[in-house]
Amino acid sequence: MGIKLRRAGIPFTILEKGDRVGGVWRDNTYPGAACDIPSHLYSYSFEPSHDWSRKYGSQPEIQAYLDHCAHKYVLMQHIRFGAAVQRADFDPTAATWTVTLADGNEVCSSFLVAATGQLSLPADPSFPGLDRFEGKVFHSARWDHDYDLRGKRVAVIGTGASAIQFVPQIAPRAAQLHVFQRSAPYVLPKPDRPYTRLVPNLFLLYGPNTNLGHNSIIYMLESQTDYVLEALRHAATHGARWLDVRPEAHREFNEELQGQLRKTVWQAGCDSWYVTEAGKNTNNWPSFTFDYRRQTRFFDPVQYVTDADSQIEPLVAGGTEP
């Protein structure tokens, strides 16, 4: 909201009760805290992040992303930290809101946007005997990182989204861990995995899976050199100091390629230098040379991470169809 107001030239003030931006990601720092939405979807459309280390972003990474956005889009000068709102009253005669803060100060405005979120106040449980418990007690949303759980008998009350994340993290540390639930939740496997980072600004001619057994490698190399040239032109034209293949594009391309190779004679069970001990063909191209030329004819910046700010349409490389 603040970013869009600033872009529109509308003066505004953000009242933040905390000491930094982040909201739920600032307050919830329990072990294993992470998003249950894939990282690349959990980004603003105008500020896509390409630096996620995993498919599902962790709390420190999401907090860093929000800090980045607040500074990049110059929001910090519009935020009053430590400004907890107690009440807000509208004067219909003056058409003005008066917002009263916890410290007694007041802020007046013509319009008021309530953007308080949903998970800022932990719901502390109340059940008989809790007040007589002599051990350490804390809510997952107010995790005590100074308290060492190693060798302790630990009881977790509830199996909500937070418990599902932190229980596997603390289980190896605790001497005993008991989880109490009122009703069993439905839990699906989380296909999380780390992203593999590639080397920026590196091009490899006659690289993996570009070898041929049925046509001229010169044809393949000319396709590659034209593609590299257009990548360099793109970087120079759009002010990119570096570019790198997106991890998801790299993964999807290789999965499709290996699927095609499994249908070829090289994967028919015979041993050859084309195939690794693990059975992966890292050498040959599984299709026609004109298909390779078609795939390399366009340098598509959408498949790359760069440090350029703008999103550019794909360029046509210098190669031609056979």
pLDDT tens column, 72-123 = 999 999 999 999 999 999 999 999 999 999 999 999 999 999 998 877 788 8
The band of 213, judged by pLDDT with boundaries at 50, 70 and 90, is confident
Encode pLDDT of 166-182 as tens digits.
999 999 999 999 999 98
The band of 257, judged by pLDDT with boundaries at 50, 70 and 90, is very high
Q: Which residue has the higher pLDDT, 312 or 289?
A: 289
Q: Percent of the chain having pLDDT more than 70? A: 95
Beta bridge partners of 54: 194
**What pLDDT is recorded for position 87?**
95
**What pLDDT is recorded for position 89?**
94
Encode pLDDT of 261-311 as tens digits.
988 888 877 777 888 888 889 999 999 999 999 999 999 999 998 887 444
- The matching CATH number, chosen from 3.50.50.60, 3.30.1330.200, 3.40.1210.10, 3.90.480.20, for 2-109 is 3.50.50.60
**What pLDDT is recorded for position 117?**
81
The band of 322, judged by pLDDT with boundaries at 50, 70 and 90, is very low
- The C-alpha atoms of residue 74 and residue 130 are separated, in whole angstroms, by 46
Encode pLDDT of 120-172 as tens digits.
788 888 888 998 999 999 999 999 999 999 999 999 999 988 999 999 999 99
Res 314 pLDDT > 70? no
Helix, strand or coil for residue 179? strand
Amino acid found at 158? G
**What pLDDT is recorded for position 112?**
93
Amino acid found at 66? L
**What pLDDT is recorded for position 37?**
87
CB 143 within 8 A of CB 11: no
User: Which residues are CB-neighbours of 96 under 8 A, at least 6 positions away?
Assistant: 90, 108, 109, 110
Mean pLDDT for 177-200 is 85
Mean pLDDT for 309-320 is 43
Answer left, alpha or beta for residue 22, where phi above 0 means left and psi between -120 and 50 means alpha: left
Domain boundaries in the chain?
A: 2-109, 217-316
Q: Which two tokens stand for residue 146?
A: 């100074």
For 81, phi then psi, to 5°, come to -80, 155
Res 194 pLDDT > 70? yes
CB 77 within 8 A of CB 70: no
Asked whether the CA dihedral 203, 206, 209, 215 is positive or negative, the reply is: positive
What DSSP assignment string belongs to 200-215? TT---TT-TT-B-SSS
Terminal-to-terminal C-alpha distance of the chain: 52
- The C-alpha atoms of residue 144 and residue 59 are separated, in whole angstroms, by 16
**What pLDDT is recorded for position 316?**
42
Res 319 pLDDT > 70? no
